[in-house]
Structure 1
Amino acid sequence: MNFGTVSTARNNDASANLTISCQGVPGVQVTVCIFVNEGVPAGMAPRRMGNNAGAFMAYDLYANAARTQLIGPVGRNYDIFYTFLSLSITGSAQFNLSVYGRVPPGQNLPAAYRYENAMSQGFLRYVFAAPLAGASSGENCRDGVAYPFASAGQSVFDFGGAQARVADNCVISLASDLDFGTVTQLDASRDATALIKLRCATDTDWLVTLSIGLNPTVNGFRQMAYNGNFLGYALYKDPAFLFPWGDTQVNGVAGSGENEDVTLTVYGRVFPQPVSVPGTYSDTVTVTLTY
């Protein structure tokens, strides 16, 4: 059962088919029931997949497409996954049973490595009814008990397990304006801050860079513009204004996701400089989140 790449924000569904063949007296009713053990790593309600790095993904197996009836191991207190069929005039029948899987949302799942639940042992139990008798109950099938003149048995099979991946995923939820306010002259530096808020899947490496803006840089500094006039300013990663924040891996801000909100502060400074034309000076800086 391959869930593919799952999302932590929604249900992730998959299914697998079991092909079952039966032989016996033509016309006889057969009750068939299925059980699947926990596999490795162990766990029930929910089952678990592991990524060999200490993280686990919860999932479950169900008998119905609505995913309300769990499939459990033999001898555990779960509803019985069973069905009836009649053998044809040739004394045989072949049919498919679907097993439905679901990975629920809301899990804190590192994106590194594939998640797997190793091959689980499955049990197919069956009860052939006595001639001219109706089908046996699900409880008879579960217990492997046949009525007089009937027969019961079981077959062991390997359920191929389950696997899934978690996509590297990041999103920016906030990028606020950097407002230096109103001044009458710039005979001293003018400082301001802005916030960037992001969230990344656990173990997803990320990098935030800031573009140079819409205007040509001068001596490496960005510029705000108004009617063809410019004011120089700079953006920094630290409150001491020592480390410029740029548009490359070297001068960006990097981290690793923990599936929690991360808030970054942008420190801006307008330098002392002459202002020949009063007005509202502005620039647009693009925030890029790479992961």
Structure 2
Amino acid sequence: MPTLNARIPPRQPSHRFPFTLLLALLLWLPLLAEAQQSCRVVSSTLMDFGTVSTAGNTDASANLSISCQGLPGVPVQVTVCIFVEEGFPSGMAPRRMGNNAGAFMAYDLYANAARTQLLGPFGRNYDIFYTFLSLPIIGSAQYSLSVYGRVPPGQNLPAAYRYENAMSQGLLRYVFAAPFAGASSGENCRDGVAPIFGSAGQSTFTFGEAQAHVADNCVINLASDLDFGTVSQGDAPRDATALIQLRCATDTDWFVTLGTGLNPTSSGNRRMVSNGNFLPYALYRDRALLLPWGSTQLNAVADSGDNEDVSLTVYGRVVPQPATVPGSYSDTITVTLTY
């Protein structure tokens, strides 16, 4: 019987399964692009500057909580960009807060902690405030973004009433990249340009208002000596002046009183002293020496601040006293600024 020989070649590995996976993925990408992928601001905090300083910058920050929703099982990169309108009262670079009494406080919003990139409205020529977010494989996540604010110094600000900028309209734009692809640029986000197999969109939100206070504030910058000089004889009055310089916040009511000194009489008249000897003198608010300057509000100098230096002149007189014992007479007066 003839011998039958047969050769069976070794089995070649199949590549159909990887091809099927790749084909399935390619078919899936357009579906992902059409899927509902979105981001929105779910909350924003108040930009509260507290009590501002007129001498230096006053800084604050607010947080935006952003929620993004993609597809479970598909990690993806998302680019988000934020725009904030001027609010009310209007103004940009600087923005403005009003106090409902006709006064305005300048401030600005920034995208970075160094406060060098202004945060502007959509469609204006400001740098784009954008950032990249990574959506995890579960398909959704919540993120926190900070907005930074600054009130610059040197403003003439009335202290009465609270300053505020009413809630501003905000715009959040977002671009979802294709699965397993890199994030889009800030310009793509601003322009709403989605990459192939990606998606883009936008949502509006209300940005929390900005507010600040200006504290009633006054300070004495100078209180000079009142020097009557050398008196050769005490049979004529001797006059001299001193200067008090102060500054108060705008619309801060204030008054200045002068104490009765260290050696007053029982009736409160002022006296200088030298080795147990006394020399009476008086202090006045006016050049004519008709208005005594006393230690109560009734005989004080009063006004309202405008955030500028105010100079007050103290008029002093030593009345004629021929029998005064020679010596070096002095007294100490307490200047009290009340506001």
Bin of the TM-score, shorter chain as denominator length: over 0.9
Residue 14 (structure 2) pairs with residue 14 (structure 1) = no
Amino acid paired to 2:260: I
Q: With structure 2 as the length reference, what TM-score do the two structures score?
A: 0.84
Give the SS at the match of 2:297: coil
TM-score when scaled to structure 1?
Answer: 0.98
Letter of the 2:129 partner, please give it.
F
1:4 to 20, 30, 50: 50
Aligned to 1:147: 195
Match of 1:251 in 2: 299
- Segments of 5+ residues of structure 2 without an aligned counterpart are 1-46
Q: Match of 2:100? A: 52
1:18-46 Cα shifts (integer Å, max 9, x gaps): 11111113211110111110000001111
- Pick one of 265, 278, 290 that aligns with 1:217: 265
Cα deviation digits, residues 175-195 of structure 1 (max 9, x gap): 111111111221111111111
- Residue of structure 2 in register with 1:260 after alignment: 308
Residue identity matched to 2:224: S
Residue 188 (structure 1) aligned with residue 236 (structure 2): yes
How far did 1:287 drift?
Answer: 0.7
Deviation string, structure 1 residues 149-187 (Cα, Å, up to 9, x no partner): 211111111001100001111111111111111112211
Within 2, Cα distance between the matches of 1:115 and 1:250? Answer: 33
Q: Of Structure 1 and Structure 2, which has the larger fraction of its residues in helix?
A: 2
**Structure 1, residues 73-99: CA drift from partner, whole Å, max 9, x if none?**
110111111111121111111110000
2:334 is the alignment partner of 1:286: yes
Point out the structure with the larger strand share.
Answer: 1
The question of 1:87 aligning with 2:116 is answered no
- Residues 185, 275 of structure 1: 8 Å contact kept: no
Task: Give the equivalent residue in structure 2 for 1:197.
Answer: 245
The equivalent of 1:169 in structure 2 is 217
Aligned to 1:29: 77
Shift of the alpha carbon at 1:101? Answer: 0.4
- For the pair shown, the structure with the greater C-alpha radius of gyration is 2
- Alignment check: 8 A CA contact 2:279 2:324 kept: no
Cα separation, 2, equivalents of 1:188 and 1:276: 12
Q: Say if 2:319 is the partner of 1:271.
A: yes
Deviation at 1:220, TM superposition (A): 4.2
Equivalent in the alignment of 1:104? 152
Q: Secondary structure at the match of 1:53?
A: coil
* Farther-moved stretch of structure 1 (175-184 vs 279-288): 175-184
Q: Provide the C-alpha distance between the structure 1 equivalents of 2:317 and 2:269, rounded to a whole number of angstroms.
A: 10
- 1:141 alignment partner, SS class: helix
Kept in 1, the 8 Å contact 2:248–2:305? The answer is yes
Cα displacement (A) at 1:219: 4.8
Q: Are the aligned partners of 2:83 and 2:129 in contact in 1 as well (CA < 8 Å)?
A: yes
Distance 1:137 1:122 in 2: 20
Deviation at 1:141, TM superposition (A): 0.6
Alpha-carbon deviations, 1:197-233, whole Å to 9, x = none? Answer: 1111111111110000001226542100001110111
Identity %: 81
Task: Please list, as runs of the form range in 1=range in 2, the aligned pairs for 1:94-133 lying within 5 A after superposition.
Answer: 94-133=142-181
Amino acid at match of 1:57: M
Go from structure 1 to structure 2 and tell me whether the alpha carbon gap of 1:85 and 1:220 turns closer, same or farther (over 3 Å shift).
closer
Alignment partners' CA distance in 2, 1:132 and 1:212: 83
CA distance in 2, matches of 1:275, 1:57: 62
Give 1:148 deviation, angstroms: 2.4
Question: Which amino acid in structure 2 is aligned with residue 223 of structure 1?
Answer: R
Aligned residues: 291
Matched position secondary structure for 2:298:
coil
Write the deviation string for residues 29-79 of structure 1: whole angstroms up to 9, x where unpaired. 110111110000001111100111111111011111100111101101111
